[in-house]
Amino acid sequence: MNPSPHRFTPQGSPALEQHLHQVCGQVRDGVCRLVPGSTRLGLLLGGGYGRGEGGVLVTPEGDRPYNDLEFYLIVPGNGLLTERRYKPALHHLGEELTPAAGIEVEFKILGIERLRQRGPSMFTYDLVLGHHWLLGDDSLLAGCEAHRDASQIPLAEATRLLMNRCSGLLFSARRLSRSDFTSDDADFIGRNLAKAQLALGDAVLTALGLYHWSCRERHRRLVALPHSDLPVAPNLIAAHAAGVEFKFHPVRSSESRADLSLRHRILAASAAQVWLWIEARRLGISHADPVGYALHPADKCPETAAWRNRLVNARAFGPAIALSPSGARHPRERLLRAVSLLLWSPAALTDPAQHSALRRWLRAEPDSMAGWIDAYQGFWTRFQ
C-alpha cells in the first residue's frame, strides 16, 4: 500500500495542497540539478508546512499559502564547505521559485554530523520531529536522538523565543506611534501580536519540559496544566488559543490604531509577567519588575562561554571591547536588557540610570523613542 500523501495544512483546499506538492517537486528538481548526488544526502521541508501545520490565507481567488517554505539540504560532515560552495546558487533558485510559489522559498544547508553533535534546541527538535522528505528518509537522522526529547531543550531557548517575540512587540510599538498609520502597519502589528500570543504559552511549556512540535498539542498541554503552574493563567491560555487560530487561519488585520494599541498594551503586560517568571526559573534571581531585571548586574547569558563571547565581541566591536570585562558576555545579553526597558519602562529615556544603560548597551545616542527602537532593531538583526 502506498503511504498517504503528505498534507501541508490541516484544512487547506485540495488546490492549495496540490500547489504546494508542485512547488516541492520544482524544488527537488532544482536542487538535483544544482547539487551533485555525491554531495547531498537528503532534502526536506521543515517549518509549519513540513509539520503539516502550515497557515492558509483565504482569499476571493481561493486558498493561498501564508508562511515561508523552508527547505533543508542535508549534507555529509559539518556542511560548512558545501554551504560556501552552493549557498549562492540555492539562494538564486529560491528567488526564481518564489513568485510562482506565492510565498518566499528559502534554502538552508545542514551538515548531518554537525546536527548530531550539537545540543538540542527548539529549532532542531521541531525539525527532527516534524518534516517532509523530498529526498531521503528518516534513516538519515540516525544519531539525532538528543533532539527528540523536548525536556532537554535548554531554558535559554524559551528566553530567546520571548526576546524575539517581545522585539516584535517593540517594533509594533514603533509603528503604532507613526503619524501616517497605514494598512501595512496594521497588518504588521496584527501578525506580531499573534506571534507573541503563541510564544507566551510555548515559552512556559518549554520551561516546564512540555514543549511539543505540534502547536495543537502544545495548546492541549497548556490547557491541561494546573493554573497554579502558570503565570497570568487566564490571559495566557486565551492568548495562546488566539495565536494557534492565527497560525492556521491568518488574516490581514484591518483593525484601527486604537484597537491595536489596546491589544498591544494588554499583551505586553502579560508578556512582562511571563518574561520575569521564565527568567527567575532560568537565572535563579527574582525581580519585581523589568527595570530591576534589566539593571541587575548578573550575567543574562551564563550558558555561553566567555572565550567565545570575546571572539564574537572582537568581530563586532573591535579588540578594545573584547578585552574589557563586558567582552566576556555575549552581545545578546544587551538585547535582553534593552528590550526590558524599551518595551516595559515608561521612564527608559528620562531616568538617568536607565538612559545611561541604554547608551552603553546599544552604543547609540538617539534623541527619541523611535530612534532608540531603530537602534535596538539594528542590534537585534545582528545578534538575535
The predicted pLDDT at position 98 comes to 97
The predicted pLDDT at position 2 comes to 38
DSSP E strand boundaries for 88-174 = 105-111, 132-135
Helix axes of 14-34 and 80-101: crossing angle, nearest 10 degrees: 140
Are 272 and 208 found together in one domain?
yes
User: How crowded is residue 24: how many other Cβ atoms within 10 Å of its Cβ?
Assistant: 22
The predicted pLDDT at position 78 comes to 86
Cell numbers 564547505 label which residue?
81
4 in any annotated domain: no
| C-beta separation of 136 from 259 below 8 A | no
Residue 220 burial class via C-beta count within 10 angstroms: exposed 0-12, middle 13-18, buried 19 and up: exposed
- Distance CA(65)–CA(18), nearest Å, equals 11
The predicted pLDDT at position 229 comes to 67
Work out how many domains the chain is built from and give that number.
3
Residue type, position 373, single letter: I
- Distance CA(324)–CA(384), nearest Å, equals 22
DSSP E strand boundaries for 157-308 = none
The predicted pLDDT at position 321 comes to 84
Are 278 and 179 found together in one domain?
yes
Please, what's the b/e burial string for 85-116 (b: 16 or more CB within 10 A of its CB; e: otherwise)?
ebeeebeebbeebbeebbbebbbebbbbeebe
350 in any annotated domain: yes
Are 91 and 168 found together in one domain?
no
Domain boundary among 254, 283, 312: 283
The predicted pLDDT at position 233 comes to 64
Q: What is the pLDDT of residues 338-353, one digit of tens each?
A: 999 999 999 999 999 9
3 state SS of 104: coil
Are 157 and 263 found together in one domain?
yes
232 in any annotated domain: yes
7 in any annotated domain: no
202 in any annotated domain: yes
Alpha helices, DSSP H only, in 208-256? 215-224, 233-248
* Chain CA centroid to CA 103, Å: 18
Q: What is the pLDDT of residues 196-243, one digit of tens each?
A: 999 999 999 999 999 999 999 999 999 998 877 677 666 899 999 999
6 in any annotated domain: no
Range of the domain at 88: 14-148
Longest dimension (CA), the chain: 71
Are 215 and 143 found together in one domain?
no
The predicted pLDDT at position 13 comes to 95
Are 232 and 114 found together in one domain?
no
Are 265 and 164 found together in one domain?
yes
Cell numbers 511539543 label which residue?
212
**Contacts made by residues 329-332, CB under 8 angstroms, sequence distance 24+:** 329/299, 329/300, 329/301, 329/304, 330/301, 330/304, 330/383, 331/379, 331/382, 331/383, 332/160, 332/163, 332/300, 332/301, 332/304, 332/383, 332/384
- Distance CA(90)–CA(41), nearest Å, equals 16
Positions in the chain whose pLDDT score sits under 50: 1-3
Q: What is the pLDDT of residues 121-153, one digit of tens each?
A: 999 999 999 999 999 999 999 999 999 999 999
The predicted pLDDT at position 320 comes to 86
Cell numbers 537528503 label which residue?
42
Are 168 and 230 found together in one domain?
yes
Are 131 and 21 found together in one domain?
yes
CA-CA-CA-CA torsion sign (330, 347, 374, 154): positive
Residue 3: half-sphere exposure toward Cβ, Cα within 13 Å: 5
Domain boundary among 234, 256, 283: 283
Are 29 and 141 found together in one domain?
yes
Grid cell digits, residue 82:
558545501
The predicted pLDDT at position 67 comes to 87
Domain boundary among 148, 175, 201: 148
Count of all residues that appear for the chain in the document: 384
What pTM did the predictor assign? 0.91
CATH of the domain at 107: 3.30.460.10
| C-beta separation of 73 from 40 below 8 A | yes
Grid cell digits, residue 96:
526564481
Grid cell digits, residue 86:
552552493
Residue 178: half-sphere exposure toward Cβ, Cα within 13 Å: 15
Are 245 and 137 found together in one domain?
no
5 in any annotated domain: no
2 in any annotated domain: no
- Distance CA(26)–CA(71), nearest Å, equals 12
CATH of the domain at 205: 1.20.120
The predicted pLDDT at position 367 comes to 86
Helix axes of 155-176 and 183-207: crossing angle, nearest 10 degrees: 160
Are 51 and 142 found together in one domain?
yes
